[in-house]
Amino acid sequence: MIIEPVIKGVVARSAHPYGCQQAVRKQIDYVKQAKPIERGAKRVLVLGASSGFGLASRIAHTFGGAEADTVGVSFERGPSDQGVGSAGWYNNIFFKQEAEKAGRVATNIVGDAFSQQVRQQVIESVKSDLGGKVDLVVYSLATGVRPNPETGDMWRSVIKTTGKPVVGPTLNLETDSLAEMTVETATDDEVADTVKVMGGEDWASWVQCLSDAGVLAHGCRTVAYSYIGPEVTYPIYHQGTLGRAKEHMHTTAEEINTQLVAIGGQAHVAVCKALVTKASVFIPAFTPYILALFKVMKEKGTHEGCIEQMQRLFNARFYSPKETEQGVLTDEQRLIRMDDWELASDVQQQVSEIMAEMTAENFTQLGDYKGYKQDFMELNGFGFEGVDYQQDITLESLKALQS
Ligand code: NAD
Ligand code: NA
């Protein structure tokens, strides 16, 4: 079969395995020539390892200077009679291939990170594949649902505001159009459920479980990823359900940090830049901001993707670089601000000017729609040079790839 891109709304219904391989290789090539991570963790667990910031964290640690062995957890679909499988499935496979070629350990665990079963599998894998301990736990899950173990039901996150309803243009990647959409006000229950799914509870529970199993190394650290954004987006993000979940995550970081003192460890939240990922394309009324932001940051030469953000996080902020000996660089709230270039006042000034002019008719010119769409296609392995998209690929050959 020839694998073509299929987009429904903002969801990709197909992925190109060899394009995903190219995506992984590109990120590896980037970190190999970037400023290296010094004194980075050598045994790393990544929860949410198959795409976005989690995959980039894994690549940065293995190929960007730390030479880490990794265990990666993700929820992905393999090839079956229903389809070729998800992009993250192939990212896992090709990351592992490259890591093993470089003499590193890379174990992929595919399953529900909220479950006890996957916790058990991870503990066993840390014991057998990482020599029994981890030095770093990266928490990078992004999902809309979390099972409630007590009832067997699902908590579902919603993307709503907590103030007055917001009307804003939302992107449809299938039709390349912007359409007005109303972001409704969340009920208290919806806020609480979103905090359950995307807040810090599961992160804390993972650290507790790993601690109980005795697999956290002395000095073990953990990091989770957050977003705050500029004031123009507060009604839809920071003061919305997702922002409330992030606030919970920030508070949780303090609790985990206190707990880790006993083993000389630390917990941090890194506040990242707005980027196109499988998760972020769902946020209504957010696209005009990203389109304007990409345009301005690319013009200024300060634009970063996931891999640039993560390599900079780990080479300049998270591990104390030899030359400075400053420790982790944070703001007063102990947050690592990787959104510093995004929030620079000259950037935000120009972004606001563009957004004020942006309409459903001109957004492809005023904003960086081409770049946005390219990023989205690349997430699913499409649009790369050097990939033969006419190649006839059999399901059997994909099933034969080792995960
Ligand atoms: P992503 O969709 O690219 O990655 C999510 C990962 O979680 C994938 O590996 C997926 O397989 C895994 N996952 C989801 N549900 C799972 C489950 N039940 N069990 C196991 N694995 C599961 O998302 P992302 O954008 O990289 O988001 C990661 C974190 O970064 C999130 O906390 C997000 O809020 C944050 N963040 C994102 C942005 C952005 O603009 N994309 C900006 C700042 C912060
Ligand atoms: Na991720």
Pocket of ligand 1 (CB under 6 A): 48-54, 73-76, 88, 112-114, 140-143, 225-227, 272, 274-275, 277-280
* Known binding-site residue numbers: 48-53, 75-76, 112-113, 141-142, 227, 246, 275-277
Beta strand extents in 117-215 (DSSP E only): 134-139, 145-147, 154-156, 166-172, 177-183
Ligand 2 (ion): which residues have CB within 5 A? 48, 52-54, 140
User: Whole domain around residue 294: which residue ranges?
Assistant: 7-399
The pLDDT of 246-266, averaged and rounded, is: 97
What is the average per-residue pLDDT within 346-358?
96
In a domain, 187, yes or no: yes
Asked, for residue 365, whether it belongs to a domain, the answer is yes
The count of structural domains within the chain is: 1
Residues 6+ apart with CB under 8 A from 347: 293, 296, 297, 300, 302, 341
Decide: helix, strand or coil at residue 180. Answer: strand
261 Cβ contact partners less than 8 Å away, ≥ 6 residues apart:
none
**Atom number of ligand 1 nearest to Cα 198:** 32
Average pLDDT over residues 236-257: 97
Give dist(CA 11, CA 174) in Å, integer: 9
**Looking at 237, 289, 319, 372, which residue is catalytic?**
237
Query: Across all residues in the chain, what is the average pLDDT?
Result: 95
- The pLDDT score that the predictor gives to residue 321 is 67
Among protein residues, the one with the nearest Cα to ligand 1's atom 29 is 140
Question: What is the position in ligand 1's atom list of the atom closest to the CA of 76?
Answer: 11
Let me know if residue 78 belongs to a domain.
Answer: yes
- Ligand 1 pocket: which of 74, 195, 197 to mutate (most atoms <8 Å of CB)? 74
> Which one has a higher pLDDT value, 29 or 10?
29
Give the closest residue (by CA) to ligand 1 atom 24: 52
| 1, part of any domain | no
Tokens matching residue 399? 């099933």
Range scoring the smallest mean pLDDT among 34-43, 52-61, 278-287: 278-287
The whole-number average pLDDT for the span 321-349 is 90
**What is the rounded CA–CA span in Å between residue 398 and residue 403?**
10
User: 90 catalytic, yes or no?
Assistant: no
User: In ligand 1, which atom is closest to the CA atom of 141?
Assistant: 7
Q: What is the pLDDT of residue 324?
A: 66
What is Dmax (Cα atoms) for the chain? 58
What's the CATH number where 301 sits? Answer: 3.40.50.720
Å from CA of 97 to ligand 1 middle: 22
Expressed in angstroms and rounded, the spacing between residue 139 Cα and the centre of ligand 1 is: 9
In a domain, 391, yes or no: yes
Residue 58 exposed, middle or buried by CB count within 10 Å (0-12, 13-18, 19+): buried
Residue 323: what pLDDT?
64
Residue 84 lies in a domain: yes
Rounded to whole angstroms, the Cα distance separating 47 from 115 reads 12
Cα separation, 403 vs 110, whole angstroms: 9
Higher-scoring residue by pLDDT: 9, 78: 78
% of residues, the chain, pLDDT over 70:
99
User: What ipTM was reported for this prediction?
Assistant: 0.98
Asked if residue 2 belongs to a domain, the reply is no
Enclosing H/E stretch for 219: strand 216-226
How many Å apart are CA 296 and CA 357, to the nearest integer? 14
Q: Which ligand is nearest to the CA of 73?
A: 1
Structural tokens at position 176: 């390349």
364 within domain boundaries: yes
